[in-house]
């Protein structure tokens, strides 16, 4: 078991490159179940969620290799369409195999995903979309059993523009018979990239990048290559590391426009933001942090995956800030841990009310989920003295060698082995 030891108070300075996006790679990998032949996915982050998805596809019989951030996946040798609990319980995104398996094999048995640290996360929208496409869905002993000889195109409307459900519906519909229209679809960059990848495989999709996707089913898809985008959430986390330590940081990312909502809030807090090609430069030296409220929303709004990180930043702002999560109403497990570092935050329904303090003080804190852990690291980088962040296996799910990236910016952070849990 590892923990981080952080000696805070050092303004971060320098340039760092964001790794490939975890959440888009987690959609691109199951998409390879739809095609014959060897698929290649480049710029894939070496993080545990990717290894979990690799293990699941390998368990099913796919031939998966992962070297130097390049995935090679050939699913022709698949010998089961079952995604067992042992795999799915580790990561909700495993449910992404539902649509492609149903589309290519007409059958799948996928364990219901567990909840996350911040409560249940339903998949009703995924299942309703599969039923709209003609699948028979049964729930049996914690498993979803989905069957349909040949999916039929349909009109699918999402009441909530769910990222995962949009991905599953899109991957199911590309091999369905006839036309499918998906309305109120998610428009996150990972969905846009998934659609572009499916088109490179031979899928017929119109409206890519918009909330209305029109798909004309085809009989088969061929393997293709795709270059993954940078992780906008990691990039945003690294920018806040520069801001909260009053430093000056440059983050290289494939598309600076994927972070517009976060950059606007950083500017409002008084941080100077400069964009040049695929570099985001922030200067927070001599910054007196202004309090800035945030309401998370679907893309291109402020991402829920940056909510905990922004909350950490506002701990040192002048005055009171309100951070409301409109996507997940109970994603606040980081709050009691931030308060252990001297923050002054209260949770009121799905909002954190943060009264800015002059200084955070190092302490021992515990990670509870991926983004909560990132917020504790950010607070530790700014806190006086030493902060110990326990259970950083949460961080390793979605950040590749975060301590190395932060050390390259001058942070005093070490990963150490510990018996503590």
Which residues are tagged catalytic? 116
**Rounded Cα gap, residues 88 and 112, in angstroms:** 7
Contact status: 326 vs ligand EPZ (CB under 6 A): no
Contact status: 113 vs ligand EPZ (CB under 6 A): no
CA angle, corner 265, sides to 161 and 240, nearest 5? 100
- Cis before 300? omega within 30: yes
Q: Could you tell me if 26 and 48 are in contact, meaning their C-beta atoms sit under 8 angstroms apart?
A: no
Among 151, 165, 354, 360, binds ligand EPZ (CB under 6 A): 165
Contact status: 160 vs ligand EPZ (CB under 6 A): yes
Which residues between 116 and 135 bind ligand EPZ (CB under 6 A)?
121-126
Size of the site for ligand EPZ (CB under 6 A): 22
Element (H, E) at 189: helix 189-200
Would you say 3 or 92 has its CB closer to ligand EPZ? 92
Please provide the size of the chain in residues. Answer: 421
Paired with 280 in beta bridges are: 251, 275
CB of 324: closest distance to ligand EPZ in angstroms? 13
27: three-class secondary structure by DSSP: helix
Contact status: 100 vs ligand EPZ (CB under 6 A): no
Residue number of the CB closest to ligand EPZ reads 164
Contact status: 85 vs ligand EPZ (CB under 6 A): no
- If one counts every other C-beta atom within 10 angstroms of the C-beta of residue 69, the result is 17
CB of 141: closest distance to ligand EPZ in angstroms? 20
**Rounded Cα gap, residues 240 and 250, in angstroms:** 11
Contact status: 376 vs ligand EPZ (CB under 6 A): no
Contact status: 23 vs ligand EPZ (CB under 6 A): yes
**Rounded Cα gap, residues 87 and 30, in angstroms:** 14
**In this structure, what token pair is assigned to residue 6?**
């952080």
Contact status: 328 vs ligand EPZ (CB under 6 A): yes
Among 189, 236, 242, 398, binds ligand EPZ (CB under 6 A): 398
142: three-class secondary structure by DSSP: coil
Element (H, E) at 102: helix 98-105
Contact status: 189 vs ligand EPZ (CB under 6 A): no
Contact status: 87 vs ligand EPZ (CB under 6 A): no
Contact status: 26 vs ligand EPZ (CB under 6 A): yes
Among 305, 325, 337, 396, binds ligand EPZ (CB under 6 A): 305
Among 7, 36, 211, 304, binds ligand EPZ (CB under 6 A): 304
Contact status: 195 vs ligand EPZ (CB under 6 A): no
From 155-163, 255-263, 353-361, 410-418, span contacting ligand EPZ (CB under 6 A):
155-163
From 161-169, 171-179, 192-200, 211-219, span contacting ligand EPZ (CB under 6 A):
161-169
Could you list the beta-strand ranges (E) of 69-218.
Answer: 70-74, 82-83, 107-111, 136-140, 143-147, 155-157, 179-183, 204-206, 212-216
Contact status: 371 vs ligand EPZ (CB under 6 A): yes
Would you say 63 or 131 has its CB closer to ligand EPZ? 131
Residue with tokens 């994603």: 331
**Rounded Cα gap, residues 64 and 316, in angstroms:** 45
Contact status: 163 vs ligand EPZ (CB under 6 A): yes
Distances 281 to 241, 250, 284, 300, 307 between C-alpha atoms, Å: 12, 4, 10, 20, 21
**Rounded Cα gap, residues 405 and 253, in angstroms:** 14
**Rounded Cα gap, residues 117 and 372, in angstroms:** 10
DSSP 286: T
| Closest of 164, 156, 257, 150 to residue 207, by C-alpha | 156
Contact status: 191 vs ligand EPZ (CB under 6 A): no
From 156-164, 170-178, 345-353, 412-420, span contacting ligand EPZ (CB under 6 A):
156-164
CB of 65: closest distance to ligand EPZ in angstroms? 22
CB of 371: closest distance to ligand EPZ in angstroms? 5
Among 164, 236, 242, 247, binds ligand EPZ (CB under 6 A): 164
Binding-site ranges for ligand EPZ (CB under 6 A): 23, 26, 92-93, 121-126, 160, 162-165, 304-305, 327-328, 370-371, 398
């Amino acid at each position: 078991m590892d923990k981080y030891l952080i000696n805070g108070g050092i303004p971060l300075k320098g340039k760092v490159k964001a790794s490939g996006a975890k959440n888009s790679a987690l959609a691109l990998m199951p998409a390879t179940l739809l095609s014959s032949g060897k698929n290649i996915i480049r710029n894939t982050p070496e993080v545990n969620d990717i290894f979990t998805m690799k293990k699941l596809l390998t368990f099913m019989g796919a031939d998966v290799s992962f070297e130097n951030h390049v995935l090679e996946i050939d699913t022709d040798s698949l010998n089961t369409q079952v995604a067992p609990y042992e795999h799915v319980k580790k990561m909700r995104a495993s449910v992404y195999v539902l649509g492609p398996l149903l589309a290519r094999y007409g059958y799948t048995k996928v364990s219901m995903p567990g909840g996350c640290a911040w409560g249940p996360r339903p998949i009703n929208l995924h299942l309703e979309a599969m039923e709209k496409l003609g699948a028979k869905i049964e729930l049996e002993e914690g498993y979803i059993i989905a069957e349909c000889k040949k999916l039929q195109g349909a009109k699918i409307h999402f009441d909530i523009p769910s990222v995962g459900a949009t991905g599953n519906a899109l991957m199911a519909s590309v091999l369905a018979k006839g036309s499918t229209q998906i309305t109120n679809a998610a428009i996150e960059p990972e969905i846009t990239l998934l659609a572009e990848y499916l088109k490179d495989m031979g899928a017929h999709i119109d409206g890519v990048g918009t909330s209305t996707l029109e798909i004309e089913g085809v009989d088969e898809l061929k393997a293709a290559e795709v270059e993954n985008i940078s992780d906008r959430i990691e990039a945003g986390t690294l920018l806040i590391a520069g801001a909260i330590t009053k430093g000056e940081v440059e983050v290289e990312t494939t598309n600076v426009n994927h972070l517009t909502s976060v950059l606007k809030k950083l500017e409002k807090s008084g941080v100077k933001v400069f964009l040049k090609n695929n570099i985001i430069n922030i200067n927070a030296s001599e910054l007196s942090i202004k309090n800035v409220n945030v309401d998370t929303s679907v893309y291109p709004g402020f991402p829920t995956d940056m909510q905990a990180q922004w909350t950490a930043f506002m701990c040192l702002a002048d005055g009171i800030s309100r951070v409301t999560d409109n996507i997940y109403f109970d994603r606040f497990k980081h709050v009691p841990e931030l308060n252990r570092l001297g923050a002054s935050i209260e949770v009121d329904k799905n909002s954190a009310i943060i009264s800015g303090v002059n200084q955070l003080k190092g302490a021992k804190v515990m990670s509870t989920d991926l983004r909560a852990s990132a917020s504790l690291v950010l607070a530790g980088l700014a806190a006086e003295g030493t902060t110990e962040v326990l259970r950083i296996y949460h961080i390793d799910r979605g950040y590749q060698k975060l301590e190395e990236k932060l050390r390259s910016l001058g942070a005093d952070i070490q990963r150490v082995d510990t018996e503590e849990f």
